[in-house]
Structure 1
Amino acid sequence: MTRGPRRGGLAGAWALTLAGLALLGCGSDPAPTPARAPGSSPATARATNVLMIAVDTLRADRVGALGYGRPTTPHIDELMSTSVLFEQAQSSSSWTLPAFASVFTGLTSSGHRCFEFRSSLAPSYETMAEVLSANGYRTGGVVSHVFLGARHGLAQGFEHYDEELVFVARESHQKISSPAVADKAIAWLTERANEPTQPFFLLAHFFDPHHKYQRHPGVSESFGTDTQRDLYDGEIAFTDQHVGRVLSALASLQLAEHTIVIFVSDHGEEFFEHGQRGHGKALFQETSRVALSIRAPGFEPRRVSPVVRSLDVAPTLYELLGLPGPSLPMQGASLVGLMRGAREQAPRGALLELRLKAGSAMDAFVQGRWKLIVDQSDAGLMHAGEPGLGERRTVEPRLHLYDLIADPDELTDVAARHPDIVQSLRSALDGAKQRGVAASRHFEHLAPLDLTHEELESLRQLGYTR
């Protein structure tokens, strides 16, 4: 599908003192780094391209470069060894649509309001592709999941948007798509190699680690095929091979030297660590922590340990390219300072929001070593004006606090021991949500998508709806 362009270390951060938390209780985020004037990028004089490789449902702790012991990601590991690797990156939610909407807009879910499966990003929002297109970039996307289909609004700004691999959700979850995604991405890169003076932005989205986990002869056997966890690892390894093909093509086409490569996953996957399987059901680390790295000309490889957010990607890219960004403010803040080795005065706070099902609501806030989860599932406390998400009730939400240093698996709730930290993080969480709601008022919002009976049944069988 072709669309015309449219313009519309962690230990140091975790050493946060209670006094510091109190100062941050208002929920302030780092101010976005002022954009450079065009042409002041640290890249060479030749136009700087952008390749974003996105892998769906990839847990951060299943990546070798992030500490996994099994050889699931050798090609991704190699990329990360030459990149700035963010060890503690948090998504904005635990399922695809809101997570990628945040990557593309630099806004939280409260800001872009893509809360549920019928949501669509309104045309009034300015996406990463739109900003780059307006600044002379050729923009292309190859996607492979229903929630990245054009009708959900994420195709905005892409001159070429290939959604041939997007199927009804149930079919999509049973397909093997990585070979075709790589083939299409390489073909588009090859075309761009003949236009060295015109920069490009390519999104290559890989879906295969998503359930239903398939067996891949010659790959899966190395990890086992008896358990869902083993099959999942095999899916990651299979996807990694095809990510490697795209990276090899970038190098062989002599484009790598002049290309920013962003690697990001949208969310992780649960395997009953907290009683459930899949994603979009809770906001624990197995689904909220994501893989994120950025390789940019002029930047040395390094590991960044403080908490960052996937919604920081867009403002980071604009600063790297010397572009002004969207006309309205983003909630994300540039990571360029951290990429240079600078230390931030205050730790970033990561807001996560989940409103996928009627009667279900959960928020989380990660800052330094602490993570607060606000579970409002029984309360049905939904965003005012969000269609189809249930009625308001007055049940008190449940608050859970986890120390991610002492308890990285989030098994021990210490909220009762640290009421002051709970109060401070709750204030920061509420402030971040309020800023998102305020940002959303600058934009129009669309009515929920009208899904067919087949689509609704497909989503129900996959656990997205009741």
Structure 2
Amino acid sequence: MRSPMRWIVPVAAAALGIACRGRDDLDGRRAPIPGLPAPPPEWRPPAGGAEVAWDWVANRAAIAGHLGGALVVDCGGPDVAKYIEAPRSSWHLGLRVDGVAAAAPDGLAGELQLPVDGDPGGVARSAGGGLRVWFYARSAVPDQLVSVFFNEHRLRDVALPRAEWAWYGVDVPPSAIVAGDNKLRFYFRAAADLAGVRTAAAFATIAVGAERPAAEGPAVAFRAGPVDRPAGRAPALSVTGPSRLSAWLRVPADAPRLVVAPAGDGAGVAVAVDGEVVWRGVAEPDWAERSVDLSRAAGALARIDLLADGPVAWGRPAVVRAPAAAPDAPDPPPRPDVIVVWTISSLRGDRVSDDATPTLARLAREGLYAPAFVAASSAPAPAHVALLTGRYPDGDRPAPGAPTLGARLAAAGYATALVSGNGFVHDEAGFARGFARYENPMRRRQAHGARALWHRAKRSLPSAAGRRAFVYVATVEPHLPYVPSDISIGAAWGERPTGAIEPARTAQVAEAIARGALRPTAGDREWLVALYDASVRDADAALAAAIEDLRELDLLSRTAIVVVGDHGEELFEDGRLGHGHSLSPVQLLSPLIVWYPARVAPRRIDEAVDAVDVYATVLDLAGVPLNPEAQGRSLLAASGGPAFARLPGWGRAVVAGGYAFVVPRAGPRALYDLRADPAATVALDAHPRVVRWLRGLLGLHAAYERAWRKARWGTPDALAPAFAADHGR
């Protein structure tokens, strides 16, 4: 088995810990250089009052470019990342080989997922319905041989006789092509060290179409950068011939429009939505903004195409929406004297209700509530890594040097305590780093229920005015084994049935089911689910008791409470019980609640929420600036967006736009519509546009996961200008 995806990203070190001091291009533009002629004035269209939702120039890494009837993949920059399906294929990015920017598969094999459709301006077929795969590559060894596969159809073996850059082509028969993403796979005979990595070959360009790109060397479908016209200079996407630039995105729901100024020498231009042309025009010599109504796709996921039949500069293309009402400037918010992060292990996102969890339901109504919080992993340890360090986990321990919430808040004057009943969240693994106090009674075989943990945690609460405290309480119920109180069993089930599985044995039962050694009856399954639900009731009651203690101590009005599930729980949706064995949505989705009435107004976020955002939100509550190692953003000033999960050794998942896309290292991928099927019981069959969008988000994120900072780069579905500026493409 090959190692997990490896990435070489030149900007990684800077993004991880070195502040970009002295930079003048953080918005993607450069300041004038003394001594050089002043650039032309910047052209801007008349102010229309709209709000930019998706800037095409900033998001150019997400755009699929077609030129001359071929999909052209620029392997020398971030463009290729959206076609790499993590974790099934490993590539090294950001290489330079003989002065050529390139990407290289890790070892002997690499694959890409490339979209092919029959819509205008896309991949052109030959007269017989086939196409060709073209690649500009450089072998790592002489006398190389590569087998080329298309959707697992073996096309032929291609000889690369010399270790130098050259174009190669392979025919693809019509029978091998499908509508939507097509898997292109290379398998080489030999590998060697090239540009500091072990690989078989480096690729600068890969293209799919009837004709080879005209360039003798590396080819690109479009270029992004400033373009000068008589009216001034504007950022643009420029093409040199017949082309289609395609973007998969969620169209805003409120008065969406595409605004763009196509400039050229009379080339015909058009805009299409999901393959249907909705506007046609001509590229005039100077900038002239056009507005295209997108209401037909309002609130939906759509593919928007910019089409041209000749050279065009698409000036300032953007999807815009009606501006949101400007909020009143608030008074400086009070800083809470007490911050409590209360994690509930294995709490599913669909278990908050007035009946079963009245405390959680009340906090959700009164605070910020995200029912689609996505855990960073379905396993406890990596899930808590994201919560405590604000970084995507790369294993079961916090990364060396990554400040924990305890360290950051201790430096801000808070007395800090980590009290854990979770066997994975302990000091030897580094979770207690930076906390003044740490206890884990579970590892000492002492009482470690939520009430017992709170009894220990409240010793760190301030006893005098002017003192502050931060406590992180990692509770375990309703985690297996499900051992609820008799009162909660009665509420969830009624009288305990004769011969039922004993609560103390539920963990062993779950393991036996996973091994196939036990096939539970329908009654067994109902009883086990009832025990889980009863444990959820106990978790809610323990939280209620903690809140009552805060009230009696006269601290509640000065306390911010963050309640979050570390991950979800499977309850036989795929035939198993528990978590940590896959990335099924029910193992990832959990509620997040941020309650602090002095600052946080009631608000519900129905979009997915990323786990690394909890860290940034807690720091924001405390008035502590976000450290450069943190990868998330505060939810107090932002909404949700794509959320990513990883189970080391198993696979990856992304949740966005009401969908979940799960990609294991082996076995079938799965796409779920969480709006129609919240429990994710039925995988969807064919939704090529949804899959392409989610696969693109997952590929882009996985490629730059260790270096990603939302505060600088935005999110993969809405990139900030600094992302392109940092990658020089």
Q: TM-score, normalised by structure 1?
A: 0.71
Change (3 A) 1:12 1:240: farther
Q: Report the Cα offset of residue 75 of structure 1.
A: 2.1
Counterpart of 1:273 in structure 2: which amino acid?
A: E
Counterpart of 2:333 in structure 1: which amino acid?
A: A
The aligned counterpart of 1:255 is: 555
CA distance in 1, matches of 2:467, 2:589: 35
- Aligned runs of 1:280-429 on 2, under 5 Å? 280-296=580-596, 297-328=598-629, 330-338=630-638, 348-355=641-648, 360-377=649-666, 398-415=668-685, 417-429=686-698
Counterpart of 2:452 in structure 1: which amino acid?
A: A
CA distance in 2, matches of 1:158, 1:362: 32
Change (3 A) 1:180 1:21: farther
CA deviation profile, 1:106-148 (whole Å, cap 9, x unmatched): 2222xxx12xxxx322441111111111111110121101111
CA deviation profile, 1:22-76 (whole Å, cap 9, x unmatched): 9xxxxxxxxxxxxxxxxx99432x65321111111111212216xxxxx321222
Q: Report the Cα offset of residue 265 of structure 1.
A: 0.7
Counterpart of 2:651 in structure 1: which amino acid?
A: M
Comparing both structures, which one devotes a greater share of its residues to helix? Answer: 1
CA distance in 2, matches of 1:198, 1:304: 32
1:43 aligns with 2:327: no
- Aligned runs of 1:233-272 on 2, under 5 Å? 233-272=533-572
CA distance in 2, matches of 1:199, 1:12: 43
Q: Report the Cα offset of residue 179 of structure 1.
A: 2.8
CA distance in 1, matches of 2:617, 2:458: 25
- Aligned runs of 1:160-309 on 2, under 5 Å? 160-167=437-444, 177-189=449-461, 192=462, 194-224=463-493, 225=496, 226=500, 227-296=527-596, 297-309=598-610
Change (3 A) 1:195 1:157: farther
The aligned counterpart of 1:156 is: 433
Aligned residues: 360
Change (3 A) 1:21 1:318: farther
Counterpart of 1:426 in structure 2: which amino acid?
A: R
Counterpart of 1:96 in structure 2: which amino acid?
A: P
Q: Report the Cα offset of residue 235 of structure 1.
A: 1.2
Change (3 A) 1:102 1:12: farther
Q: Report the Cα offset of residue 309 of structure 1.
A: 1.6
Counterpart contact for 2:336–2:621, Cα < 8 Å: no
Counterpart contact for 2:350–2:371, Cα < 8 Å: no
Counterpart of 2:482 in structure 1: which amino acid?
A: Y
- Radius of gyration: which is bigger? 2
CA distance in 2, matches of 1:223, 1:425: 38
Counterpart contact for 2:480–2:578, Cα < 8 Å: yes
Change (3 A) 1:428 1:21: farther
Change (3 A) 1:424 1:78: closer
SS in 2 for 1:201: strand
RMSD (CA atoms): 2.7
Change (3 A) 1:41 1:372: farther
Q: Report the Cα offset of residue 259 of structure 1.
A: 1.6
Change (3 A) 1:434 1:231: same
SS in 1 for 2:676: coil
Counterpart contact for 1:364–1:373, Cα < 8 Å: yes
Q: Report the Cα offset of residue 335 of structure 1.
A: 0.8
CA deviation profile, 1:336-384 (whole Å, cap 9, x unmatched): 124xxxxx6xx611111112xxxx5121111112221112146xxxxxx
The aligned counterpart of 2:358 is: 74
Q: Report the Cα offset of residue 432 of structure 1.
A: 1.2
SS in 2 for 1:348: coil
CA distance in 1, matches of 2:687, 2:487: 50
The aligned counterpart of 1:436 is: 705
The aligned counterpart of 2:303 is: 19
CA distance in 1, matches of 2:389, 2:671: 29
Comparing both structures, which one devotes a greater share of its residues to strand? Answer: 2
Q: Report the Cα offset of residue 21 of structure 1.
A: 12
Counterpart of 1:58 in structure 2: which amino acid?
A: L
Change (3 A) 1:176 1:103: closer
Say which is worse superposed, 133-142 or 225-234, in terms of deviation: 225-234
Give unpaired runs (5+ residues) of structure 1. 1-10, 23-39, 66-70, 339-343, 379-397, 441-466
- 1:107 alignment partner, one of 369, 387, 391: 391
Counterpart of 1:62 in structure 2: which amino acid?
A: R
Q: Report the Cα offset of residue 215 of structure 1.
A: 4.1
CA distance in 2, matches of 1:310, 1:250: 27
The aligned counterpart of 1:128 is: 405
SS in 2 for 1:146: coil
CA distance in 1, matches of 2:300, 2:383: 27
CA distance in 1, matches of 2:381, 2:584: 18
Q: Report the Cα offset of residue 289 of structure 1.
A: 0.5
CA distance in 2, matches of 1:21, 1:215: 55
Counterpart contact for 2:421–2:449, Cα < 8 Å: yes
- Aligned runs of 1:135-154 on 2, under 5 Å? 135-154=412-431
SS in 1 for 2:376: coil
Counterpart of 2:586 in structure 1: which amino acid?
A: E
Change (3 A) 1:181 1:438: same
The aligned counterpart of 2:240 is: none
SS in 1 for 2:607: strand
CA distance in 1, matches of 2:304, 2:386: 27
Counterpart contact for 1:123–1:156, Cα < 8 Å: no
Change (3 A) 1:331 1:337: same
CA distance in 2, matches of 1:310, 1:154: 16
Q: Report the Cα offset of residue 267 of structure 1.
A: 0.8
Counterpart of 1:368 in structure 2: which amino acid?
A: G
CA distance in 1, matches of 2:590, 2:544: 19
Counterpart contact for 1:185–1:246, Cα < 8 Å: no
- 1:96 alignment partner, one of 365, 380, 384: 380
Which is bigger in relative contact order (C-alpha 8 A, separation at least 6)? 1
Counterpart contact for 1:57–1:209, Cα < 8 Å: yes
CA distance in 2, matches of 1:367, 1:131: 30
SS in 2 for 1:148: coil
Counterpart contact for 2:387–2:614, Cα < 8 Å: yes
Identity of aligned pairs, percent?
26
SS in 1 for 2:397: coil
Counterpart contact for 2:484–2:538, Cα < 8 Å: no
Counterpart of 1:402 in structure 2: which amino acid?
A: Y
Q: Report the Cα offset of residue 218 of structure 1.
A: 2.5
Q: Report the Cα offset of residue 276 of structure 1.
A: 1.8
CA deviation profile, 1:65-102 (whole Å, cap 9, x unmatched): 6xxxxx32122222223211112211111121111110
Counterpart of 1:280 in structure 2: which amino acid?
A: G
The aligned counterpart of 1:34 is: none
CA deviation profile, 1:124-175 (whole Å, cap 9, x unmatched): 11111111111111101211011111112111111011112335xxx79xx6
Counterpart contact for 1:12–1:306, Cα < 8 Å: no
